Chain A
């Protein structure tokens, strides 16, 4: 059924292949785990604290510890301090915080207790790429060493192949098996 693959079977698949994660940046000492079983927060992140008290429902996002961190420990992250009682609405401007990357200040828009927008007012440098990263409230990701699967499948997703490359693809083998 896999005509182009001579050595089809021989034993079970090699399992997970080495390599531990290296997601954490050298400066990223905290702010990694939240919730179930040790997800990792990816990427550097920018920081600032929204001072007004507001209930924050940010779904699957980590809230980094309040930005009391001296410049040497973490990069900044937008944090809303959870508070009980009323669901707040409005736009709140955080303190300007000096980090070793430069000064960071964010504005947080909250509607009925949920953060709807985080805007960077000041960033270490003006380039859009760091703006993208800095504005993000990081979600918790799950991660593992990469494994090779041999289980049964119906179809394969991959980077776009050409018509020519299709002939050598696993999808072609699957299609032939079904014809």
Chain B
């Protein structure tokens, strides 16, 4: 028995012997990989289109760096920094910041308050940081598509957007990380045009609390949400994780979205949508 980060005592299910780490798929065709550190994490791009110019890749990362600058809550001169400081009225914010704030309000209502960008601030001012990464990466994917790309995957610190197929006839094979083992995955999901975001307590500590109780949620080690939009998948994963085990079922209420959860006692549970996406070989 070991004490898990959530404070619950669970049986030790770690493998006794060595476990082979998942292997990368060998791609026969052209493949461009680019990794840059932005938004506090590493963003990996895997592009399979041959015709897309290198400048489109430059543009994608320049765009993310620009969003990072303008939306950073840590920079007093950024829009969000000024918004938090009360120097910028919401009505005077830029078009894209007002869009993000509108999304946040939709999410607060949709999630029954489990996703609330104001709640963790005593002054009630909005801090949209939790929403910005998913939205920015999704917007970056649109820009790449406008530049002619149709077969690529972006992984922004564990939040994923995929388009098309890496090779003809097969989807992107997306592993869901084991909550206790950085080098192992617990399931593989096949995605073509899609998105996946995961919330869990194992990377940055217990930064998610149930906003209604102020306590860390119980019942889930991680939850991965799949759907058409990374913005929503990311927010749903955050809200569902805060709900605990009931969050898996809650995700299923949203058409087009599904969830794969690993419980605190290390069982897996998933919604019917995942039945059609989980790869068994």
Contact = CB atoms under 8 A, between A and B. Distances in A.
Interface stretch (A48-56, A82-90, A97-105, A136-144): A136-144
Contacts of B40: 162-163
B198 to A, nearest CB: 5
Contact of A170 (B14, B42, B175): B175
B97 to A, nearest CB: 21
A73 to B, nearest CB: 20
Interface in A144-159: 144-159
- How many residues of B sit at the interface, in one of the four size bands? 35 or more
Contact of A157 (B13, B31, B177): B177
Interface stretch (B19-27, B77-85, B99-107, B139-147): B19-27
B172 A154 contact: yes
Contacts of B270: 141-143
Among B15, B158, B201, B266, the most chain A Cβ lie within 10 Å of the Cβ of B158
Contacts of A142: 269-272, 274-275
B274 A14 contact: no
A165 B200 CA distance: 15
A144 B248 contact: no
A152 B13 contact: no
A166 B44 CA distance: 10
Contacts of B56: none
Interface stretch (A1-9, A64-72, A106-114): A1-9
Among B17, B22, B178, the most chain A Cβ lie within 10 Å of the Cβ of B22
A157 B159 contact: yes
Nearest to A127: B212
Contact of B178 (A7, A148, A151, A173): A148
A27 interface: no
Interface residues of A, number: 70
B268 A148 contact: no
Contact of B173 (A2, A139, A151): A151
Given A60-B252, A153-B174, A165-B203, A160 B159 contact: yes
B183 interface: yes
Given A19-B11, A151-B279, A178 B21 contact: no
Contact of B185 (A2, A9, A156, A173): A156
8 smallest A-B Cβ distances: which pairs?
A: A158-B177, A159-B200, A166-B42, A14-B15, A153-B175, A158-B158, A177-B24, A143-B269
Given A42-B269, A169-B42, A178-B33, 19 more contacts: A21-B269, A23-B263, A139-B271, A141-B271, A148-B19, A148-B178, A148-B181, A148-B186, A150-B23, A153-B175, A154-B173, A155-B160, A156-B175, A157-B158, A157-B177, A160-B133, A160-B157, A162-B157, A178-B31
Interface of A: 1-2, 5, 7-14, 17-23, 39-43, 60, 127-129, 131-133, 136, 138-163, 165-166, 168-175, 177-179
